[in-house]
Amino acid sequence: MDFGGQVKKIRQQHALTQEQLAQQLHVSRQTVSSWENNRNLPDLAMVVTIAQLFQISLDQLILGDETMAKKLVKDGSQVRLARLNIATVILFVLGGACFLSAALIGSSLDSNGVLQEPFFLIPIGYLLLFGGLIVLLVNLGLRLYHHFKTK
């Protein structure tokens, strides 16, 4: 059975209207209707909420619908790729901050004639930028893989 039919059957078994189910899930009645008519599919968090509300397993709720299973796999892949994007940005920003800090702090001679400079910031900056570049390349590789896998 498809996901929409499954939701409708479970809702009717619990003697709920679309409006009542929508209120419990904090969505509109139209959203529930679009799920039941297979015009739209909920995200993974909502699927888990529905399963918890009706006290059924996720298997019972989604395994009969190939479209829903594919959507959940795709959503999971997109979340992983978004995390890689965030990691890339963080590494680049931290690397840039190391170089900026080194430039702003500068170097100076103390009273004993010893050069004082934050020498450690430059290699750390390069390490962070290199790490960001690696994560970026991995991210692009995964995106290409998913792009060609789906075609």
Q: Convert the pLDDT of each residue in 58-112 to its tens digit.
A: 777 776 556 666 776 677 777 788 888 999 999 999 999 999 999 999 888 888 8
Q: Is the pLDDT confidence value at 141 over 70? A: yes
Burial of 124 (0-12, 13-18, 19+ CB in 10 A): middle
Higher-confidence position of 78 and 150: 78
Q: What is the pLDDT of residue 18?
A: 92
Instruction: Match domain 3-64 to its CATH number in 1.10.260.40, 3.20.20.70, 1.10.10.410, 3.40.1190.20.
Output: 1.10.260.40
Domain ranges of the chain: 3-64, 67-150
Q: What is the pLDDT of residue 1?
A: 58
Tokens of 55: 């006290």
Q: What is the pLDDT of residue 107?
A: 83
Tell me the pTM.
0.53
pLDDT tens, position by position, 36-65: 998 888 888 898 899 899 988 877 777 655
Q: What is the pLDDT of residue 24?
A: 93
Q: Is the pLDDT confidence value at 10 over 70? A: yes
Q: What is the pLDDT of residue 65?
A: 59
